C-alpha cells in the first residue's frame, strides 16, 4: 500500500514531508515524491527507488521552498515502478496536484472518457486519472470539485490535494484507504498512518469514509460528501512508534492477518463484473482458454501450497488437468511441456530465484506463462507473458498470510473464468460462486475475531513436538500451509499428511500426546476423515479439528473443534487457513520467537 503525507503551516513543508515519508518506509514502497507550493508555483520532485534518492534530489527539502505540500511513497499497483509513475501527479497545466493511496477500480473507464475529451496522459497510473478528473470538474471551488469526483470514482482512495488558486488550503479525502489528520505547531498534517505524525502530535482525527478535510495553517474543517460541515472528535494516541508502525498490533504478521479481508476484496472485486469473472490481464481469448490442454503450476513454499489448492479447484470446477510442482524440482527435471500447456508461476515477491528460473525454462520450451504476483514490476511479473496481480499490498512479515490468501483467490477466479468459458459450470453455478466469494472477507473477519479460542488452545501446546496436520482433497492442501506456518515461526517440527496415507507407515509415529490438527471441510470425505481421527486418537493423539459449522458429528472424534462458516467446497481453504495461521502465530508468540523475522529465513529467496 502507498503512503501519503501533507502539511500546511508556518514552517517549511519539504523537510516535514520527507520526515513523514521516512516514518512510512516500513510499509514498503518502490518510489517516492513530494510537491511544495511557494505561492507562485507548485514544484515537484519524485523518483523511483529509496527515499534517500529523493532526499539527495531535494537537498533534504531545501530546493523546494514553501509552507504547504504533499508527499507520497508508492507501492505500485497500476503501472511499473518508475519516475513517471511515481506520485505526486499533476493535471496538464500543473494547477492541481494529488497524491493517492488505494485503487481506483474504474480508472480505465474514466481515463478513456478523459482521453475522448482531449486529455493527455503521461503515466500508467490510476492516480493521474484523479488529477485530470479534478481538472475536468474544477470550477474554482475545490470542495465542490472533490465531491464531484467522489461520485464518479469506484474503489479505494486516500487523497492529498493542492489547488494553485488556493495557495493556503490543503485538502484531503478518503474512501476505504486510511487517512488521519492532526494539528501541529502553527499548522496541520495529513498522513496515511500514525507513525508519520507522532513527532508533531498525539491527537489525531481518524477520517471516516467519504469525509473531506480542508486545512489552512490556522484551521481544520470537516465536510461530508454533501459538502455539509461535520464535527469530529480527536483521538489521543498512546502508541510508541514501533507499535504505531504495526497499527497497534504486536507483530506485522498479526496486522497482515487482519488485513486479509481487505486484501481479498481488493483482489477479487475489480475482476467481478455483474455476474461474470473478467480478468482482462489474462491476455487470453475464449478460444485460447478452450485450447488449454493442461495447466502446470510452479512455485515455492506457501505459493506452492496455493498451487496445490489451485489443482483441486481448477480440476474440480474447470475439468482441466493440472500438475503442480515446486520450482526447485521443476527447473531441473527437464519437464515435458506439451502444446496447449499453460504454465502458472505463483510468487508473492516475484523475485524467487527458483520460480524465476522455472518461468524462463518454461518459456524456452515454448509454453505460455501466466504470473500470479504481488509485487508490481518484479522480475516474474515483467518476464511472464501475462500477469495477474494479487493486490495484498506490501507484506512485511516473513511468514506470508494475506498474500497467500490472495493467491487462493486468484486460483478461484481462474477456475471460475475457465470453467465458465469451457462450459463446465452453468451461469447459475457461477453466480453462486461469485456470491460465495463476496462473503469470504466477512467470514475471514469473523474467524479472526474468534482468535482467543485458538490462542487458548495454542497455549496448551507450546511444548508440542512433531505436530501432524492431516486432511483430504483441498484440506490436504491447506494442511501443508498450516504446517509450514507452524514450522517457520515457532520452530516446532510438523508435517502435513494426506489423511488416507497415514496408515501406510507414518501412523507408527503417533503416540500418547501427539498433536494432530485435522482439517475436514469436504462433506463427502467427513466419514473418512473421522475414521482417520479415531485411528490417531486411539493411539494417544490429541486432535484439534477444523470443520464446517453444523458438522457436529466431529465432536465424538476430536478433543477441540474450530468451526468455519458455510461456503462452497472449493473455497473452504480461505476460511480454514485462518485458525491455522492463528495457531502457528500464538504458539510462536508463546514460545517467545521472533514472529516477524524467524531465524534462517528471508522474505524473498532470491538465491537458489
Ligand atoms: C511462506 O510463509 C514463506 N515465507 C515462503 O515459503 C514463501 O512462500 C516462498 O519463499 C515463496 O516466496 P514467493 O511467494 O515470494 O515466491
Ordered mean pLDDT values, 10 residues apiece, the chain (608 residues): 93 96 85 96 94 94 96 88 94 97 93 97 96 98 98 95 98 93 92 89 92 97 97 86 81 96 96 93 95 98 98 98 98 94 96 94 96 90 95 91 98 98 97 98 97 93 92 98 97 96 93 95 96 95 96 93 96 98 97 89 74
Catalytic residue among 2, 188, 406, 593: 2
Cell of 516: 494432530
Q: How far is the CA of 46 from the centre of ligand 1 (A)?
A: 31
Distance CA 587, CA 592 (A): 9
pLDDT digit string, tens, across residues 513-557: 899 999 999 999 999 999 999 999 999 999 999 999 999 999 999
Matching fold, domains 3-237 and 450-595: no
CA 513 / ligand 1 centre spacing (Å): 31
CA distance 557 to 189: 57
Does the Cβ of 73 fall within 6 Å of ligand 1? no
Residue 240, CB-side half-sphere exposure with 13 Å CA sphere: 2
pLDDT at residue 243 in the model = 74
Which of 252, 253, 303 for mutating ligand 1's site (highest number of atoms within 8 Å of CB)?
Answer: 303
What is the CATH architecture of 3-237? 4-Layer Sandwich (3.60)
Q: Reply yes or no on whether 406 is catalytic.
A: no
Task: Determine if residue 60 is left, alpha or beta; phi over 0 gives left, psi from -120 to 50 gives alpha, anything else beta.
Answer: left
Superfamily of domain 249-445: Glucose-6-phosphate isomerase like protein; domain 1 (3.40.50.10490)
The active-site residue out of 294, 363, 591, 603 is 603
Ligand 1 atom closest to residue 355's alpha carbon, by position in its atom list: 16
pLDDT value for 599: 80
Q: Are 346 and 414 in contact (CB under 8 A)?
A: no
Q: What pLDDT, on a 0 to 100 scale, did the predictor assign at position 557?
A: 94
> CA torsion sign, 494 to 500 to 505 to 508?
positive
- State residue 185's pLDDT score: 75
Exposed / middle / buried, residue 584 (Cβ in 10 Å: 0-12, 13-18, 19+): buried
- Nearest CA to 264 out of 447, 108, 477 is that of 447
Give 348 Cα–ligand 1 centroid separation in angstroms.
Answer: 7
Does the annotation count 593 as an active-site position?
Answer: no
How much distance in Å is there from the Cα of 254 to the middle of ligand 1? 17
pLDDT given for residue 559 in this prediction: 93
DSSP-derived pairing of the beta strands 211-215 and 341-347: unpaired
Of the candidates 461, 490, 507, the residue with the CA atom closest to the CA atom of residue 581: 490
**Strand bridging mode 68-74 / 3-9:** antiparallel
Q: Write down the domain spans for the chain.
A: 3-237, 249-445, 450-595
Q: How far apart are CA 9 and CA 386, in angstroms?
A: 47
Fold of 450-595: Rossmann fold (3.40.50)
Model pTM? 0.83
Note the helical H segments in 259-316: 260-268, 286-290, 301-313
- Say yes or no: CB of residue 303 within 6 Å of ligand 1: yes
Please give the pLDDT value at position 393: 87
pLDDT of residue 267: 96
Amino acid at each position: 500500500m502507498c503512503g501519503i503525507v501533507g502539511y500546511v503551516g508556518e514552517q517549511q513543508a519539504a523537510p516535514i514531508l520527507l520526515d513523514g515519508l521516512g516514518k512510512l518506509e516500513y510499509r514498503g514502497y518502490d518510489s517516492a515524491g513530494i510537491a511544495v507550493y511557494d505561492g507562485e508555483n507548485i514544484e515537484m520532485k519524485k523518483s523511483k527507488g529509496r527515499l534517500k534518492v529523493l532526499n539527495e534530489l531535494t537537498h533534504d527539502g531545501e530546493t523546494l521552498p514553501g509552507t504547504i505540500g504533499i508527499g507520497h511513497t508508492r507501492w505500485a499497483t497500476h503501472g511499473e515502478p518508475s519516475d513517471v509513475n511515481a506520485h505526486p501527479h499533476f493535471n496538464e497545466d500543473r494547477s492541481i496536484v494529488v497524491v493517492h493511496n488505494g485503487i481506483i477500480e474504474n480508472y480505465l473507464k474514466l481515463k478513456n472518457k478523459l482521453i475522448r475529451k482531449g486529455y493527455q496522459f503521461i503515466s500508467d497510473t490510476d492516480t493521474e486519472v484523479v488529477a485530470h478528473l479534478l481538472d475536468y470538474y474544477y470550477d474554482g471551488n475545490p470542495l465542490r470539485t472533490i465531491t464531484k469526483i467522489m461520485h464518479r470514482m469506484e474503489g479505494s482512495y486516500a487523497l492529498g490535494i493542492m489547488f494553485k488558486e488556493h495557495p493556503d488550503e490543503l485538502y484531503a479525502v478518503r474512501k476505504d484507504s486510511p487517512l488521519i489528520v492532526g494539528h501541529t505547531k502553527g499548522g496541520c498534517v495529513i498522513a496515511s498512518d500514525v507513525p508519520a505524525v507522532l513527532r508533531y502530535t498525539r491527537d489525531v482525527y481518524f477520517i471516516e469514509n467519504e469525509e473531506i478535510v480542508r486545512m489552512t495553517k490556522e484551521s481544520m474543517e470537516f465536510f461530508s460528501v454533501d459538502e455539509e460541515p461535520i464535527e469530529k472528535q480527536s483521538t489521543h494516541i498512546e502508541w510508541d512508534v514501533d507499535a504505531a508502525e504495526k497499527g497497534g498490533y504486536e507483530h506485522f504478521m498479526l496486522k497482515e492477518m487482519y488485513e486479509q479481508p481487505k486484501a481479498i476484496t481488493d483482489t477479487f472485486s475489480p475482476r467481478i463484473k455483474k455476474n461474470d469473472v473478467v480478468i482482462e490481464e489474462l491476455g487470453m481469448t475464449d478460444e485460447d482458454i478452450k485450447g488449454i490442454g493442461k495447466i502446470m503450476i510452479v512455485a515455492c513454499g506457501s505459493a506452492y501450497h496455493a498451487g496445490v489448492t489451485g489443482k483441486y479447484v481448477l480440476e474440480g470446477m474447470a475439468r482441466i488437468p493440472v500438475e503442480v510442482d515446486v520450482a526447485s524440482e521443476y527447473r531441473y527435471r527437464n519437464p515435458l511441456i506439451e502444446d496447449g500447456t499453460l504454465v502458472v508461476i505463483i510468487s508473492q515477491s516475484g523475485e524467487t530465484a527458483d520460480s524465476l528460473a522455472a518461468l524462463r525454462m518454461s518459456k524456452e520450451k515454448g509454453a505460455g506463462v501466466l504470473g500470479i504476483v504481488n509485487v508490481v514490476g518484479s522480475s516474474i511479473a515483467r518476464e511472464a507473458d501475462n500477469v495477474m496481480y494479487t493486490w495484498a499490498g506490501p507484506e512485511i512479515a516473513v511468514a506470508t498470510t494475506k498474500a497467500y490468501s490472495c493467491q487462493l483467490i486468484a486460483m478461484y477466479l481462474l477456475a471460475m473464468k475457465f470453467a465458465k468459458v469451457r462450459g463446465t459450470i452453468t451461469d447459475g453455478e457461477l453466480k453462486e460462486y461469485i456470491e460465495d466469494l463476496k462473503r469470504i472477507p466477512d467470514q475471514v473477519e469473523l474467524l479472526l475475531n474468534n482468535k482467543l479460542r485458538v490462542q487458548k488452545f495454542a497455549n496448551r501446546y507450546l511444548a508440542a513436538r512433531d505436530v501432524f496436520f492431516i486432511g483430504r482433497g483441498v484440506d490436504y492442501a491447506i494442511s501443508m500451509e498450516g504446517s509450514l506456518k507452524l514450522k517457520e515461526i515457532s520452530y516446532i517440527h510438523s508435517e502435513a499428511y494426506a489423511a488416507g496415507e497415514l496408515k501406510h507407515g507414518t501412523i507408527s509415529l503417533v503416540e500418547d500426546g501427539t498433536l494432530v490438527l485435522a482439517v475436514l471441510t469436504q462433506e463427502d470425505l467427513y466419514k473418512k476423515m473421522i475414521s482417520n481421527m479415531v485411528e490417531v486418537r486411539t493411539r494417544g493423539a490429541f486432535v484439534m479439528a477444523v470443520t464446517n459449522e453444523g458438522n457436529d458429528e466431529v465432536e465424538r472424534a476430536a478433543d477441540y473443534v474450530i468451526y468455519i462458516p458455510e461456503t462452497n467446497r472449493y473455497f473452504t481453504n480461505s476460511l480454514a487457513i485462518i485458525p491455522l495461521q492463528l495457531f502457528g502465530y500464538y504458539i510462536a508468540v508463546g514460545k517467545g520467537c521472533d514472529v516477524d523475522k524467524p531465524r534462517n529465513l528471508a522474505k524473498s529467496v532470491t538465491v537458489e
